């Protein structure tokens, strides 16, 4: 079995144990079989590549009706991406966001200044005018 990519043909072992390479917001990431301990969020590499490819978070951040002016405010992109990550990892009431904040690979992988706190996510969405948010 092989995959044809823009760079050429990559040979893949039939059981899928080949090396995969993904472009992410933090740069190109390679996935391969290893005996090393993995981050619990290792599966986020393909998600980072997918969201970068379709540009959904960038588009949502650009169209957000809330403009942040404080120099201390987290960028809109960081808040939206942090919310999406906690929803994707089955965070209940944002309780899992703190664990993602402790993994230094997450901000790099998604091009974030940092994963924001659960309070920041809640305050951000509470401050968006519902009519403007619906648009």
Percent of the chain beyond pLDDT 70?
A: 77
Mean pLDDT computed over 7-34: 68
111 in a domain, yes or no? yes
19 in a domain, yes or no? no
- Backbone φ, ψ for residue 14 (5° rounding): -55, -25
Q: For tokens 């390479």, what's the residue? A: 21
pTM here is 0.71
Strand intervals (E) in the chain: 2-5, 8-11, 20-24, 27-31
59 in a domain, yes or no? yes
Classified as helix, coil or strand, 8 is strand
5 in a domain, yes or no? no
What's the total number of domains in the chain? 1
| The pLDDT of residue 126 | 92
- Residue 22 DSSP label: E
| The pLDDT of residue 112 | 94
Enclosing domain of residue 50: 38-134
pLDDT tens-place string over residues 37-93: 666 666 788 888 888 889 999 999 999 988 888 888 999 999 999 999 888 877 666
Cβ neighbours of residue 23 closer than 8 Å, sequence gap 6 or more = 49, 52, 53
Q: Across the chain, what does the average pLDDT equal?
A: 80
4 in a domain, yes or no? no
Q: For tokens 């933090």, what's the residue? A: 26
């Amino acid at each position: 079995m092989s995959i044809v990519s823009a760079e050429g043909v990559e040979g893949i072992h039939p059981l899928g144990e080949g090396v995969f390479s993904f472009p992410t917001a933090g740069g190109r990431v390679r996935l391969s079989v290893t005996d090393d301990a993995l981050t619990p969020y290792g599966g986020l590499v393909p998600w980072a590549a997918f969201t970068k490819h379709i540009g959904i978070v960038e588009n949502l951040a650009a169209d957000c009706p809330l403009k942040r002016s404080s120099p201390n405010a987290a960028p809109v992109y960081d808040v939206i991406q942090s919310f999406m990550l906690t929803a994707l990892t089955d965070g209940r009431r944002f309780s899992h966001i703190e664990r993602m904040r402790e993994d230094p690979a997450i901000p790099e992988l998604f091009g974030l200044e940092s994963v924001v706190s659960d309070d920041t996510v809640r305050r951000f969405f509470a401050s968006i005018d519902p009519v403007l948010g619906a648009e």
